[in-house]
Structure 1
Amino acid sequence: MRAILIVNPNATSTTAAGRDLVAHALASRVSLTVLHTTHRGHARELATEARRAGIDLVIVHGGDGTVNEVVNGLLGVPAPTSMQSVTVGPVPLLAVVPGGSANVFARSLGIAKDPVEATNQLIDLLESGSSRRIGLGYCDRTWFLFNAGLGWDADVCDAIDRGRKGGEAVTPSRYVRTAITTFFRRKRRDPHLTVETDAGEAVTGVHFAFVTNSDPWTFLEARPVRTNPGTSFDSGLGIFAMRSTKVFTTLRVVVQMLSGTSGPHSRALLRDDDVKWIRVRSTEPTGLQVDGDYLGERTEVEFASAPDALAVVAPLPGDTP
């Protein structure tokens, strides 16, 4: 099996020694070429080249942003009517060895968080031939793996990105502090979003909207954060949109996101766990994030579900690492 290992050497939790160990272990099982990213968008370029070269397997050692770039490089831009990817030749299998701060995609697939453990797990999966097809989300000419959103979360991602460029470490505690600060800064703004889905009528007066393709939405260290527990890689998209920024109402919903699997609920919350498409309109330019990557401001975004879009090396649903 011809494989490439795309490594982001600047990923949060990778080290030179750890990267060498991962590469050495994988090279004992597959015909491996190791490639390091050097700039933003490089992982996407490498993945596109791998597909065109007929590589069988693309392994990513990095965070969610690097994995997102690779997936977009593998699949290209889909046809607007069919949501099928526009590619030349077969799409390689995708595998992930976590190397970022949150690693939401890998952990949602059942991949171990520790890179060494994940590498051993990947070797076992390859030897057993275990793989599965998963659905993805799509918006703004970009595939997303696990979540996207307009408003609050996008502003948090923007602040985190600006801090990272300034040399600040990306940690769960920093995400929490930034989320709280951003919430209170936005709190007094009038609601300006309208959310429409294939499952119901348009809902106005929305302050912020999260769109998910899997569960959990993210992690705080080992704790999963669940906005849409009924959403999975095998279902449609989840929508989570708040029509209130009252502190007590928001805090109660946040506690539900952190504490249970039944799903957050509130009269101020629009939530559905399995929809084909979601359209969000804004009366003013509003930030958009995709898999934690801030894309800028938009006034209208349509999110679409693309079933069975990608083949990944991962445990079958229900299996444990």
Structure 2
Amino acid sequence: MVSHQKRARLIYNPTSGQEIMKKNVAEVLDILESYGYETSAFQTTPAQNSAKDEATRAALAGFDLIIAAGGDGTINEVVNGIAPLEKRPKMAIIPAGTTNDFARALKIPRGNPIEAAKIIGKNQRIKMDIGKAYDNTYFINIAAAGSFTELTYSVPSQLKTMFGYLAYLAKGVELLPQVSKVPVRLRHEKGVFEGDASMIFAAITNSVGGFEQIAPDAKLDDGKFTLIVVKTANLIEILHLIRLVLDGGKHINDKRVEYIKTSFIEIEPLSNERMMINLDGEYGGDAPIRLENLKNHITFFANTDEISDDALMWDQEELALEAIAQKFAHEVEDLDAELGE
């Protein structure tokens, strides 16, 4: 009996992370071959759905493993390419963007494609939850709505390209005075929330924009979203909540926050104002919308052991990211102090 030759398809974004993947493709392919995969590569193009369409093609062609190499946007596209299929290949990721929220959740080395590829050789896997927003529209990290989310669309595309979702948060201090509440009805498995909200988050992982305390107890495979509803638009109160986030995720017990675990969420605006939905940092349509958590939908290779600092290569982008995070925290404190005078 002839044994099945495992096949892997590497789908990589050549422009992510200062072209870091482009410089390491050959070595990554060698590593995958050493793990017993017959491996080939596809370089994405600027064409719409380039990564998504290739992921669908590779899955239908019977590839056993698809590796998404790039930022969170590339990973999102690849997931959207295979999530609707009945038979889905396993996935692995090689983070080559800046924020890399999904890589943080799976504990994959960031900024080092070689070390990230080696995680596949450990053969540690997680059946990951995936969010479904519309027919054939999926997300891997977070769905968001509310006036604050909509204001962040004004972030310049160049800044977003450089710093990912964290650019929204860095811009957030400037935008906070413009935040307003909107009337909304949210249905979930625990009941109904009806009232005013300035921010609505439905998180799958615990990492948003590099901050890992927004949904501190999020689990990757329990079939539940972490629904976070911020009920205030008062600037001083929002600043206080942000400080609680930065102080170990203590915001989850605050009376101005609804913090709920649920397998589905229905978001219905109760005014004539448009409510835009943000999926993994990109505009993803308008409410009303139903979000469903597809439990254990895609099997990902992950590093379930603790990663040592030696496995991380802190390049200039990563250092800049950390600097922005610190700057954001300091600006929040400064603005809070200024308003308190």
TM-score (norm: length of structure 1): 0.83
Q: Which residue of 1 aligns with 2:55?
A: 47
- Label 1:201 to 1:64 Cα distance change in 2 as closer, same or farther (>3 A): same
1:285 aligns with one of 274, 285, 297: 274
- Label 1:240 to 1:292 Cα distance change in 2 as closer, same or farther (>3 A): same
Contact 2:96 2:113 (C-alpha < 8 Å) held by counterparts: no
Query: 1:46-91: per-residue Cα shift (whole Å, max 9, x none)?
Result: 0100111000100011011111111111122xxxxxxxxx43xx31
Q: How do 1:293-308 residues align onto structure 2 when only pairs under 5 Å count?
A: 293-296=282-285, 298-308=286-296
Residue 194 of structure 1 deviates from its aligned partner by: 2.5
1:182 aligns with one of 154, 175, 186: 175
Is residue 2:216 matched to residue 1:229? yes
Q: CA RMSD in A?
A: 2.3
1:239 aligns with one of 208, 227, 242: 227
Q: Determine the C-alpha separation between the residues in 2 that align with 1:172 and 1:276.
A: 25
Q: How do 1:1-321 residues align onto structure 2 when only pairs under 5 Å count?
A: 1-15=6-20, 16-29=22-35, 30-38=37-45, 39-76=47-84, 86-87=85-86, 90-116=87-113, 118-125=115-122, 129-141=123-135, 142-152=137-147, 154-155=149-150, 158-160=153-155, 162-164=156-158, 169-170=162-163, 174-185=167-178, 187=179, 189-219=180-210, 224-235=211-222, 236-261=224-249, 264-272=252-260, 274-282=261-269, 283=271, 284-296=273-285, 298-316=286-304, 319-321=305-307
Give the aligned residue type for 1:300: P
Aligned length: 295
Give the aligned residue type for 2:169: V
The structure with the larger Rg is 2
TM-score (norm: length of structure 2): 0.79
- Label 1:261 to 1:174 Cα distance change in 2 as closer, same or farther (>3 A): closer
Q: Structure 1 vs Structure 2: percent identity of aligned residues?
A: 21
Give the aligned residue type for 1:269: V
Q: Relative to total residues, which structure has the larger helix share, 1 or 2?
A: 2
Q: Relative to total residues, which structure has the larger strand share, 1 or 2?
A: 1
4+ residue runs over 6 A deviation: none
Q: Determine the C-alpha separation between the residues in 1 that align with 2:165 and 2:283.
A: 18
List alignment gaps of at least 5 residues for structure 2.
1-5, 308-341
